[in-house]
Amino acid sequence: MEALGEIKQKIFRTECKEFLYEGMSRSEPVMTVDEHGIIDNYFIYAGNHEMTMVSPPMIAFGIYSDIGKTAYINTGIYDEGAPLKKNQIDRGIIDEEYIREYERLYRELRKFVFQNCDDAQKDVLGKYVEHLYRLSGNGLWEDYLEAVPGFFEWAAGEGVGTAYGS
């Protein structure tokens, strides 16, 4: 199973690399599945250096990372009139160990994503969702929920809450 860093590098082997402009940020990947396999879904947004203010997503794309192929590109999601929004991140809990744990959870989740979960898998799923929220911040959280609703609907169906920052 590939590490999260390797999954993210797959972007540069597709035409999606063209959307990684200097000064723009890329979301963490969130998985969905279709008849061709796992899709790692991303969105591109702008933010200040500290990521305390962020824009809505401008572009979304998905990659079949296991085969290094683009699944889709959606360039029509940007609302130029949308204001920046506050994005509070609790940096007190985010350290190298927290990030390593997030990466481990993502790799583990790839083994059972969109399957019925046993208790251990539900624990991994719940911890992954919480880590994603904490790493991304409350301002981006709604964007994740809107960009990849299928993942979060599956998580909720497995008993994992996603109502952070409410």
Residue range 108-166, pLDDT digits in tens: 999 999 999 999 999 999 999 999 999 999 999 999 999 999 999 999 999 998 776 54
Amino acid at 17: K
Contact present, 65 and 35 (Cβ < 8 Å)? no
Q: Which residues contact 101 (CB under 8 A, 6 or more apart)?
A: 127, 131
* Residue 164 confidence (pLDDT): 67
pLDDT in tens, 7-49: 999 999 999 999 988 888 999 999 999 999 999 999 999 988 8
* pTM, full prediction: 0.93
Sign of CA dihedral 60, 64, 110, 114: positive
